[in-house]
């Protein structure tokens, strides 16, 4: 699959998630089988570009190509400037955010709120495409199915975006009103795919190979984008890729392998975020990684009391050493739940 001039190794993508898909997490997911990853959204507001948060989000040092940056905003000129700013910092693909349902984003009429104003949305698309074309940088669009169940305009907006020069469209199978509640639906994604010539990516509730296969079959999508299911389980990409290719599930990773991946990720995370911020933001990544494992809840509570990078690394390494002694292969969620019950009963 290609996005503009970039040929991707596979069609399994990491979704942009605020506070999650920083450079270390994107690199980890790519290492473990993702073919493509998009950054956390970067604001189009120029006065915030020098902030520590934005500078971290726009950090691509050592990241493998293609480097994709998602931008968010409501003013076409500001969005065009944001595209140029991020291209200067290494972006090779610019993604427009029309999918975020967060109130603090939608209250400024950005994110998925833009789908309620198609005229403004398409002015933004045209401005960003015009800003990127001289640099040979493709523009992609991430959107939802519409404002609510009565107002699903994804097909019309996606077709207009294609006509304006967008190279790929990703559709999350929920409305803005749904947020992340309920189940994703794929009929709208299938309708978008049927009407577009450019690649279409399906997003929402893809958590294993069986669901991945079903979504590809139902929608005809060119690729799949995975978000929350990769939190704490970044090897989901290689698992799905293996099963789609061979028809057989991949054995669980060795517990020692997972230990190594997580410790390496933490070191990269601390290097980007620093001691104070890194320790605090790492807690959620560690919590996601251990939540389904035997004793994970108890360890998570301990981890939240540690306030240094060294203490977190030492505690996580020791905990995984002990887990590996009992479980050479990483326990499945079901097996972990059974072990947890035994542990609590004891």
Told to judge if 29 belongs to the known catalytic residues of this protein, a careful annotator would answer no
Helices of type H across the chain: 23-31, 52-57, 76-88, 103-106, 118-132, 154-163, 187-195, 209-219, 236-246, 255-273, 275-290, 296-303, 309-326, 333-345
Beta bridge partners of 203: 172, 225
Answer for the pair 23, 14: CB distance below 8 angstroms, yes or no.
Answer: no
Beta bridge partners of 93: 68
Peptide bond into 79 cis (omega under 30): no
Residues in the chain: 346
Among the listed residues 252, 114, 99, the one whose alpha carbon sits nearest the alpha carbon of residue 180: 99
100, 106, 132, 309: the catalytic one is 100
Q: What DSSP designation does 115 have?
A: G
Beta bridge partners of 36: 13
Among the listed residues 217, 192, 195, 194, the one whose alpha carbon sits nearest the alpha carbon of residue 206: 217
Element (H, E) at 7: strand 6-7
Tell me the DSSP string of 199-220: -EEEESS--SHHHHHHHHHHH-
Catalytic residues: 100
């Amino acid at each position: 699959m290609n996005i503009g001039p970039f040929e991707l190794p596979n069609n399994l993508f990491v979704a942009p998630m605020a506070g999650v898909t920083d450079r270390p997490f994107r690199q980890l997911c790519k290492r473990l089988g993702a073919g493509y990853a998009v950054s956390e959204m970067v604001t189009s507001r120029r006065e915030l570009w020098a902030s520590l948060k934005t500078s971290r989000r726009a950090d691509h040092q050592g990241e493998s190509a293609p480097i994709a940056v998602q931008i968010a905003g409501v003013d076409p000129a500001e969005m065009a400037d944001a595209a140029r700013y991020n291209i200067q910092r290494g972006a090779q693909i610019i993604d427009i955010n029309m999918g975020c349902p967060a109130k603090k984003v939608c209250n400024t009429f950005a994110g998925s709120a833009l789908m309620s104003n198609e005229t403004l949305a398409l002015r933004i698309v045209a401005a960003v495409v015009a800003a990127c074309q001289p640099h040979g940088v493709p523009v992609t669009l991430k959107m939802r199915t519409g404002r609510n169940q009565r107002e699903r305009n994804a097909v019309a907006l996606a077709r207009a975006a294609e006509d304006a020069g967008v190279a790929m469209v990703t559709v999350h199978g929920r409305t803005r009103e749904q947020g992340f509640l309920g189940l994703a639906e794929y009929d709208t994604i299938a309708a978008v795919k049927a009407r577009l010539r450019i690649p279409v990516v399906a997003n929402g509730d893809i958590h294993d190979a069986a669901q991945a296969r079903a979504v590809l079959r139902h929608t005809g999508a060119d690729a799949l984008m995975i978000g929350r299911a990769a939190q704490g389980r970044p090897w989901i990409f290689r698992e799905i890729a293996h099963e789609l290719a061979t028809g057989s599930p991949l054995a669980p990773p060795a517990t020692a392998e997972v230990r190594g991946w997580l410790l390496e990720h933490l070191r990269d995370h601390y290097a980007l975020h620093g001691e104070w911020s890194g320790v605090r933001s790492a807690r959620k990544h560690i919590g996601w990684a251990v939540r389904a494992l035997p004793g994970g809840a108890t360890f998570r509570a301990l981890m939240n009391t540690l306030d240094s990078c060294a203490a977190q690394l030492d505690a996580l390494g020791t905990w995984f050493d002990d887990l590996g002694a009992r479980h050479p292969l990483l326990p499945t969620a079901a097996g972990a739940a059974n072990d947890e019950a035994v542990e609590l009963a004891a």
